[in-house]
Amino acid sequence: MKKRYLIPIVYILFLMLPIYWLVAMSFKTTGEILAGFSLFPQTFTLENYKVIFTDPTWYWGYINSIFYVAINTVISVIVALPAAYAFSRYKFLGDKQLFFWLLTNRMAPAAVFALPFFQLYSAIGLFDTHLAVALAHCLFNIPLAVWILEGFMGGVPKELDETAFVDGYSFPRFFATIFLPTISSGVGVAAFFCFMFSWVELLLAKTLTAVAAKPIAATMTKTASSAGYELGLLAAAGALTIIPGAIVIYFVRNYIAKGFALGRV
Partner 1 sequence: MKTENQKAWFFVLPVLLLVAFNALIPMMTVVNYSVQETFGDNLFFWQGLDWFQQILNSERFHNALGRQFLFTGLILIIEVPLGIAIALAMPRKGFWVPVCLVTMALPMLIPWNVVGAMWNIFTLPDIGLLGYFMNHTLGIDYNMTQDPFAAWVTIIVMDVWHWTSLVVLLSYAGLVSIPDAFYQAAEVDGASRWSVFRYIQLPKMKQVLTIAILLRFMDSFNIYTEPFTLTGGGPGNSTTLLSIDLVKIALGQFDLGPAAAMSLIYFAITLLVSWLFYTLMNRDVQK
- Which H or E element spans position 107? none
CB 73 within 8 A of CB 198: yes
Among 40, 56, 91, 97, binds partner 1 (CB under 8 A): 91
When asked if residue 254 is in the footprint of partner 1 (CB under 8 A), the reply is yes
Give the DSSP letter of residue 255: T
CB 31 within 8 A of CB 42: no
When asked if residue 66 is in the footprint of partner 1 (CB under 8 A), the reply is no
Among 196, 208, 213, 236, binds partner 1 (CB under 8 A): 196
Q: If we measure between CA atoms, which residue out of 30, 37, 19 comes closest to residue 233?
A: 30
Min separation Cβ 168 and partner 1, Å: 20
When asked if residue 210 is in the footprint of partner 1 (CB under 8 A), the reply is no
Q: What are phi and psi of 59, to 5 degrees?
A: -70, -25
When asked if residue 63 is in the footprint of partner 1 (CB under 8 A), the reply is no
Min separation Cβ 156 and partner 1, Å: 13
Q: Binders of partner 1 among 96-115, rule CB under 8 A?
A: 98, 102, 104-115
When asked if residue 256 is in the footprint of partner 1 (CB under 8 A), the reply is yes
Q: Which stretch binds partner 1 (CB under 8 A): 41-49, 52-60, 90-98, 176-184?
A: 90-98
Using the minimum distance from each CB to partner 1, give the nearer residue, 14 or 228: 14
Among 66, 128, 224, 230, binds partner 1 (CB under 8 A): 224
SS3 108: coil
Sign of the dihedral through C-alpha 93, 94, 96, 98? negative
> Which residues, in sequence order, are CB contacts of 153 under 8 Å at separation 6+?
84, 85, 88, 89, 183, 186
d(CA 64, CA 48) in angstroms, rounded, equals 20
Min separation Cβ 258 and partner 1, Å: 6
Min separation Cβ 16 and partner 1, Å: 7
Using the minimum distance from each CB to partner 1, give the nearer residue, 44 or 251: 251
Among 70, 128, 129, 245, binds partner 1 (CB under 8 A): 245
Among 42, 53, 82, 155, binds partner 1 (CB under 8 A): 82
Among 55, 79, 157, 177, binds partner 1 (CB under 8 A): 79
CA angle 34, 225, 28 (to 5 degrees): 30
> What string marks each residue from 17 to 56 as x (binds partner 1 by CB under 8 A) or -?
xxxxxx--x-------xx-xx-x-----------------
Report how far apart, in Å, the C-alpha atoms of 28 and of each of 22, 39, 43, 45 are: 10, 11, 6, 6
CB 153 within 8 A of CB 85: yes
Q: Binders of partner 1 among 112-171, rule CB under 8 A?
A: 112-117, 119-120, 135-136, 138-139, 142-143, 146
When asked if residue 257 is in the footprint of partner 1 (CB under 8 A), the reply is yes
d(CA 211, CA 129) in angstroms, rounded, equals 9
